[in-house]
Structure formats: structure tokens, C-alpha cells
Amino acid sequence: MTNAKNEEQTQSGTECTLPPNPKIDKLRDTVLGRSEREEKEIIEYFEWQSNKGRDDDDQITVRHLEKMKTEVVFGRKYALWDVHATDGRWWVVTNPTNLYSQTEFPSLDYLLSFHIGLMARVASRDARKAGRPDQDRFAAAWRRWEQAASAIDNASEAEDFQAVGMKCRECLLTFVASAPEYVELQDGAVLPQRGNFKEWAELIANWSAPGEHSKDIRTYLKQLSGSTWGLVNWLTHTSNAVAIDAELAMDATHHVLEVFSAAVVRKESARPDRCPRCSSYQLASFYVPELEPDPPYVTVCQACEWESVAPRDELGKE
Ligand SMILES: [Zn+2]
């Protein structure tokens, strides 16, 4: 339509010609106050998302983009981008980043409300996942915890909350079930029964945090496991339990898994406190049974990238 008008005016011989339609691919150069770094990020995100599974000769590219606005909601900043691509116009909203078709969402304001709601629901779902780097070592116990977490979302009556207690209980028992495979017992020690969580947890604490300098850690592990076991069992027997009781039991169980698996991994990986090459404290252990090292861990220095390819040999030189 604008083109037709331009022609009309030129034909009628007016001196005043309207500027021609700008070329969309050059338009970006005229936008003030833009950040190329930000633009690059959005373009890379958009093209990566849009070209998943596409052939090389059929790639979608960004022709133009502009940041329309930023808005802070509950302390989180969202940037809203208008993206012109070879396959149409899109909105890209950040933090976390997602893209939406402008045909489906003509209103930017409405879209922001939708995006924030969607991201809140995704975040809520992810919070129910165990999400621990060393969870591979105790995958079965973490799976039980996730089951408890998904049960609590649909719990509304006292018996539902009691059931969450049952699931936490199973989770803790699953955690100690494999202890006989790795805990080295002191001479003359009597093996507790399989269902005796408290005694197994104490054995794990004694084994994973031995010696005078770990006394407080050991005490903490024992108190924590004992009180969590008590709490979880109380919940299973409490007929007037409410949602907050179940949440508490679940968080406590999560914490037990977290600190006990960290203690076990530290002990099993025989990780030195400092990097033997650069003396950094930034050491991380990765559980890698598939590589069959003995013990099944690789320790990596995050400062100098030193790796304990043969952990026992390296440690022997200390
Ligand atoms: Zn290092």
C-alpha cells in the first residue's frame, strides 16, 4: 500500500518524496541504543530453536530484531524482543528464554503474563526434581524422593500427607539398603538389620567422617539422620497431619540424602582436599562406574583442569 502511494506522489510530480521503504536487513543499523552482544544472544537462541531438525539448505534466519521493553516482576527482569525472521514474526522473551509466534500472541503485554505464568509452572515442576550432581551414586533413593515430591502436589487430606511420610520413609530405607556394599565396618561390629535406618546411618557417619577432626561432622550426620527418621515416622502415624508437616518431612529427607551422599562420595572418591598440581581447593568428584576406575570416580580440579585419571596412583605420591 505504501509503495502505491509513493508512486502516486512521484507521478503527480511533487518535490517532496517520501523516503523509500527501508530494507529490513539493514534496519537494525538505524536502531539507537542497541547492544550487539544482547542481539547476538537472541539471534543465536532463535536460530538454534527454529532450525532444529531442518536441512542445511532450508535454514531460518533472523532479518531484524528490536528490544521492545524490559519489565521487572518479583525482582526478575524480563526482556521482550520483536524478531523478524524469514518464517514470520516472533516474540522472544528472556529469563528463561522462550519464543512465541506473533500470530498466536498479537499482544505483547498479554504474552508477558502468559510467559511468566508458564515459567513459574516449569520452575515449580523442576523444584520437585532431585537435580543433584552426585545423585547418580544414589539414583534409586533420589527416585523415591521424587515420587514423594510428586505425591505431595496432589495431596489434600490427612491420609495423603501420611502417605508422603511413608514415601519419605521408603526413600531413607532405600538410601541405607546399599550401605552393606560399601561401608567398611570396624572389627567386631554387629550388622544392624536392613530396616534399621538409624543404626545404618550411624555406621555410614562413622565410616565416612572418621577421626578427631571430623567429630562435629559425624555428630551432625547422626543427629540429622536420627531426627529426620523420627519426623518421618511421626508423619506416617499422625492422623491430623497438614500440608506443612508433609513439606517439612520432605525437605528434611532431601537434606539427609544430600549431606549423606556428599559424605559418601567424598570418602569413596578418596579425594584430596587440595589439587596436587595447583593447590586449589576447587575439586569436584564425578561418579563414573562406566569407565571402571577403582574407586569409580574421577576428580577434576576446576582451577587448573587436573584430572585424577588413576586416582590411587596419584594419591599414593602425596
Ligand atoms: Zn589444580
Residue pLDDT tens, the chain, 318 long: 445 444 444 444 556 777 777 787 777 777 777 778 888 889 999 999 999 889 888 999 999 999 999 898 887 889 999 999 999 999 999 988 899 999 999 999 999 999 999 888 877 776 666 555 566 788 899 999 988 988 888 888 889 999 999 999 999 999 999 898 888 887 777 889 989 999 999 999 999 999 998 999 999 999 999 999 999 999 999 999 999 999 999 999 999 999 999 899 888 888 788 888 888 888 887 777 777 777 778 888 888 888 886 544 444 433
Point out which residues pair with 85 in neighbouring strands. 62, 88
Measure 135 CA to ligand 1 centroid, in angstroms.
Answer: 24
Give pLDDT, residue 314.
Answer: 42
Measure 304 CA to ligand 1 centroid, in angstroms.
Answer: 4
Cα 38 to Cα 68: distance, rounded to the nearest angstrom: 13
Between helix 243-268 and helix 215-237 the angle, nearest 10°, is 150
Q: Is residue 163 within 8 Å of 144, Cβ to Cβ?
A: no
Q: What are the domain boundaries of the chain?
A: 34-127, 135-268, 270-318
Measure 291 CA to ligand 1 centroid, in angstroms.
Answer: 22
Q: What residue type is 26 in one-letter code?
A: K
Measure 294 CA to ligand 1 centroid, in angstroms.
Answer: 21
What's the pTM value of the predicted model, to 2 decimals? 0.58
Residues with CB under 5 A from ligand 1 (ion): 275, 277-278, 280, 301, 303-304, 306
Q: Distance between alpha carbon 13 and the CA centroid of its chain, in Å?
A: 65
Give the up-direction half-sphere exposure of residue 168: CA atoms within 13 A in the CB hemisphere. 30
Measure 87 CA to ligand 1 centroid, in angstroms.
Answer: 48
Point out which residues pair with 89 in neighbouring strands. 84
Give pLDDT, residue 80.
Answer: 94
Measure 281 CA to ligand 1 centroid, in angstroms.
Answer: 8
Give pLDDT, residue 24.
Answer: 78
Give pLDDT, residue 199.
Answer: 95
Cα 81 to Cα 85: distance, rounded to the nearest angstrom: 12
Measure 311 CA to ligand 1 centroid, in angstroms.
Answer: 14
Measure 315 CA to ligand 1 centroid, in angstroms.
Answer: 14
Measure 275 CA to ligand 1 centroid, in angstroms.
Answer: 5
Which distant-in-sequence residues (6+ apart) come within 8 Å of 138 by Cβ?
175, 178, 257, 261, 264
